[in-house]
Chain A
Amino acid sequence: MTATNPSAHSGNSRGGDGVITGVQVPALWFEDVAVGDDLPELVKEPDTRQLVMYAGASQDFVPIHYDQNIAQAAGHPTVIIHGALKSAWLAELVTGWIGPTGRLLELDVSYRGIDFPEGTMTCGGKVTETKVEHGVGLVELEIGLRNPEGMVTTPGRALVALPTKTVFS
């Protein structure tokens, strides 16, 4: 797990107890990414239990996410998924793809459509631009969450930084 080149990442070295820190072989290099590449999809099967867990973990107690009566009074068939939970999944899509040596710099998500639990949600993404700025490899992504009917209800974008081989070699 530890890298062969200790100058690879100038991350913190908090060791002293034999655990080597601050160095890691990148899971994804900037040079391995090209415009048009698809990210591996992230599939979620949320249930109402997950919405309650997210409500507690995120401190979002707006009842339309857990109270069936209130959701139905608002005209929905059932409770609705928190927009912010969909953001968290899209963040997971991106951070899972870049691995621990990439950095998520920007994440924009807009909630265009309402989604419900007990259906398959699919997060996907595509590389739209790659560039090097000040020696940092930057990758622009178009991302989105699709509902069970295949409609993108939650489009977004992200900007990530990836390690470049020129720095590492």
Chain B
Amino acid sequence: MTTPEKSESTVTTVINEELRSFIGVDSNPVTYEIERHAVERFACAVGDPNPLYTDEIAARKSAYGGLIAPPTFLRSLLPGAYPKPYPEPFAHILDGGSKYRFRVPVRVGDRITVTRKIVDLFEKQGRLGTMLFKISEISYVNQLGQAAATQTTTTITYGTGEKDPGVDGH
């Protein structure tokens, strides 16, 4: 498949019409109950001793009035698939980074609905050859309909050969 776009150094592009058609499409929403033990396991794995995540009495006495989840706990609430399978052209994956916006605290007992959409796709040439940059926005809405947070992620894929496990799920 060819593309009308042409930049001086780019010989080929992997961003075809099919890939581009995924921009702006919402993934199937998934709703998670925020469980106390899941929050505890996450805080323990990070090594974060903040009592707001694990100490019910301290959390109760705090301004939050109860246990909350650590900010990046949202990371464990995996988004669902897109309505059609995303045609990942590359085999290997790198995480480029995340931008979180936190609006409403996520509390133990909340039900959070997670939706992801691709907001941009672009390519760069580098040490690893052609790299596909995928910018996705993940929204986290609580059971009251409040937009609790968003996470904007940069996912980089590159290379051919046997696909990394999980590369299609990002």
Contact = CB atoms under 8 A, between A and B. Distances in A.
Interface of A: 1-2, 9, 11-14, 19-24, 44, 50, 53-54, 56-64, 74, 82-85, 87-89, 91-92, 95-96, 100-101, 103-111, 156
B72 interface: yes
B164 A64 contact: yes
26 contacts: A11-B62, A11-B63, A22-B65, A53-B45, A56-B45, A57-B44, A57-B46, A58-B42, A58-B45, A84-B95, A85-B45, A87-B75, A88-B70, A89-B46, A89-B47, A91-B72, A92-B47, A92-B70, A95-B50, A101-B63, A106-B100, A107-B71, A107-B98, A109-B98, A111-B95, A111-B96
Interface of B: 38, 41-42, 44-48, 50, 52, 57, 60-66, 70-72, 75-76, 78, 92-103, 154, 164-166
Given A21-B61, A56-B41, 19 more contacts: A11-B65, A14-B65, A19-B60, A19-B61, A57-B45, A59-B78, A62-B166, A82-B95, A88-B48, A88-B70, A88-B75, A91-B70, A92-B50, A96-B50, A107-B102, A108-B97, A108-B100, A109-B97, A110-B154
A109 B151 CA distance: 11
